[in-house]
Structure 1
Amino acid sequence: MLKNLKETMKNAPIVRRGTYNYFIHPISDGVPLVRPELLREVIACIVKNANLEVDKIVTVEAMGLPLGAALSTMTDIPFIIIRKRKYELPGEIAVHQATGYSKGELYLNGINKGDRVLIVDDVISTGGTMKAVIQALEQAGAIIEDIVVVIERGEGRKVIEDMGYRVQTIIKIDVDEHGVKILGCIDDKL
């Protein structure tokens, strides 16, 4: 299982952004090419491991979109996209997000008080995006049933677990100027 994910992670190019070693991968960046067998493998793993007893799937623009769409199609659970653009709809919730290499606002629409949600995202590194997502969902009165992230890098998982939430990740990596090192995989029970 997860053969495609492991192989593509090992071969992911590294780009420096200041002092940050940024890995480029189809799941986290949509380049160079998102192959259906990779996406299918990742979604099958999420279906197998996530709590799907939810009303809505919540994901974050931009690379959460293919994950949310594919998962919604497989499970018939509708999905919400937390956007980086304001729509000014009634009840819209804005929260500030800061990551290891960017910051900005996120906007949540379409969540009602009491909605049971599954959060799905591509990467957790510092936990900044996930923290903002959780704050928006708490403010909306949603019940976070589960959080699943494809790629874990850094201390972000611990930040979210310290907030009282469990985070499942599919693959855990470390990155340096020489490439990506796989530290663990859900197959190995991270």
Structure 2
Amino acid sequence: MDSTLEPLARSLRQAPVVDRDGYEYFVHGVTDGIPPVEPAVLSAVADGISERVDLEAVDKIVAPEAMGIHHGTALSIATDVPLVVVRKRSYGFPEEVAVHQETSYGESELYLNGVDAGDRVLLVDDVLSSGGTIEAVCDALEAVEAELVDIVVVLRRVDVDHADVSRDVTSLLDVRVRDGKVEILE
């Protein structure tokens, strides 16, 4: 494993796992904001993404509400690339694009504002489980004719079906839940 990501890996090994209607869900600052996310973890995430993506080719970072926001923010501060938040609430702007998201544990509407045709964007999110959020945001980006440079998630769950994802996704760490604990795959 990349030593840059050690603060993230160390914190994940201590994450509790809860049952959400038969879905083993780990609770971690990266994915839930509980417990608090340590600055070293956010720095590790920003550094890990910076090492994997050509940010010179990116005009805007796009992060879905809510748990993509802190990763997009940390990366934006580290790189001076502007951040666009895909919101769960409509503002009714004329150029707003609404898309429906379905995840392993719920569904809702998402609303994209602030991305224009031709913008080169990096999509950043916390975790890839079903892929519903990523597909919904990508649909919105396609609708405005933005250029998707890359998709990066902090964590990829390898123990769930990513049936909803039809695109390449880069992850900082691949994880699974086994016997009530988070395991990091090397």
TM-score (norm 1): 0.91
Alignment partner of 2:42 out of 21, 39, 42:
39
Deviation above 4 Å: which 4+ runs of structure 1?
A: none
- Letter aligned with residue 171 of structure 1: L
Give 1:110's match in structure 2, choosing from 114, 121, 124.
Answer: 114
CA distance in 1, matches of 2:27, 2:122: 26
The alignment of Structure 1 onto Structure 2 pairs a total of residues equal to 180
Matching residue's letter, 1:117: V
Counterpart code for 1:46: I
2:95 to 78, 91, 97: 91
Listed as ranges, the gaps of 5+ residues in structure 1 are 185-190
Match of 2:24 in 1: 21
Is 1:50 the counterpart of 2:53? The answer is yes
1:172 aligns to what SS in structure 2?
A: strand
* Corresponding residue for residue 188 of structure 1: none
- What is the aligned counterpart of 1:174 among 148, 173, 176? 176
Q: Distance in 1 between matches of 2:108 and 2:145?
A: 23
Amino acid aligned to 1:59: A
- Identify which of 66, 73, 80 aligns with 1:76: 80
Give the residue type in structure 1 aligned to 2:10.
E
What is the aligned counterpart of 1:6 among 9, 14, 28?
Answer: 9
Mean Cα deviation higher: 96-105 or 169-178: 169-178
Offset of 1:63 from its aligned partner?
Answer: 1.2
| Offset of residue 3 of structure 1 | 1.3
* Aligned equivalent of 1:101: 105
Q: Please give the secondary structure, in 1, of the residue aligned with 2:75.
A: helix
Please tell me the root mean square deviation across aligned C-alpha atoms, in Å: 1.2
Partner of residue 155 from structure 1, selected from 149, 154, 161: 161
**Unpaired stretches in structure 2, ≥5 consecutive residues:** none
Question: Aligned equivalents of 1:22 and 1:167: distance in 2?
Answer: 21
Shift of 1:177: 4.8
Deviations 1:15-68 (A, max 9, x none): 111101110011111111111011111111111111211110000101111111
TM-score, with length taken from structure 2: 0.93
* Higher mean C-alpha deviation, range 119-128 or range 165-174: 165-174
3-state DSSP class of the match of 1:155? coil
Identical residues among aligned pairs (%)? 46
Deviates more, 1:119-128 or 1:147-156: 147-156
